[in-house]
Amino acid sequence: MAAGQETAADTRAKADGRTWTALAVGLLLLAAWLTGHGSGGRTAPGGAGGAGGVSAAAAGDHPPHLYAAHVPLPASDPVRIDIDSIGLHAGLVGRGLTDGTIDPPPYSTPKVAGWYTGGPTPGAAGAALIVGHVDTETGPAVFFPLSTVEPGALVAVTRADHSVADFSVEAVEVVPKDHFDATRVYGADAANRPELRLITCGGDFDSARQAYSANVVVYASLTGSRAASGSGA
């Protein structure tokens, strides 16, 4: 589905009875997808721990929180993501699992990002997940500038209920794929704060394997919400 084709769907009810074990299965499958996707043959901006406030990931606890916990929002499907500080503006499409692996946005729509429908919607309690390609064989894709985002930057996610969930970036990490800690990257903290993870490929590109060496992971926490522009709310 190309950017601009996403419509304002009905608010998605929060799933009942979800366990961390069930969610982790899907997220580990997502990690397997991220191991081999990104394409393009270039090094992502910022490299593995270079510019843009990017740091190497440390195993264990999540990065420290820079902001107080915000009251979670009701569940509602996200339709758009905007990060003005790096010029990132994109439509969002829901992605699930296909044949045991995550179904990413196709390379034919490189400017679209995907949110994982098996987890919380952005703004609801827990860690919501948005993934996107860094590039394709023909040029940069939706998350090409992601590694240059700085802590404190605003990530605005427009939702189907005509609200905007505002997240503030707390940390940006490069996670080597051979040391990927799914619990750290995908799991919410003990308080189940409303958080957001943005993930793309990063590090060095291995042309023989057609894969990147790492993932760029942006950790952000919900810090506010507002009515979407033109919503009439």
All structural domains of the chain with their residue ranges = 20-227
pLDDT above 50 for 191: yes
Kindly indicate the confidence band of residue 205, based on its pLDDT and cuts at 50, 70 and 90.
Answer: confident
Nearest to 52 by CA among 148, 191, 180, 184: 148
| Model pLDDT, residue 38 | 52
pLDDT above 50 for 144: yes
CA dist 95 and 176 (Å) reads 24
pLDDT above 50 for 150: yes
| Model pLDDT, residue 232 | 56
Name the CATH superfamily housing domain 20-227. Sortase (2.40.260.10)
| Model pLDDT, residue 213 | 87
Q: What is the DSSP string of 100-137?
A: TEE-PPPTTSTT-EEEETTSPPTTSSEEEEEE--SB-S
Q: What is the pLDDT of residues 68-115, one digit of tens each?
A: 999 999 999 999 999 999 999 999 999 986 664 556 788 899 999 999
- What's the number of CA atoms in the CB half-sphere (13 Å) around residue 210? 6
Give phi and psi for 41, each to the nearest 5: 80, 25
pLDDT above 50 for 223: yes
Per-residue pLDDT, averaged over 145-172, amounts to 97
CA dist 107 and 41 (Å) reads 14
Which is more confident, 46 or 222?
222
pTM attached to this predicted model: 0.79
| Model pLDDT, residue 3 | 29
pLDDT above 90 for 196: yes
Mean pLDDT over each residue of the chain, to the nearest integer: 79
Per-residue pLDDT, averaged over 17-41, amounts to 44
| Model pLDDT, residue 30 | 52
Per-residue pLDDT, averaged over 179-186, amounts to 83
Which is more confident, 23 or 125?
125
∠ CA 97-142-220, nearest 5°, is 75
CB pairs under 8 A, 24+ apart, for 210-214?
210/36, 210/39, 211/35, 211/36, 211/37, 211/38, 211/177, 212/38, 212/44, 212/134, 212/177, 213/48, 213/176, 213/177, 214/48, 214/174, 214/175, 214/176, 214/177
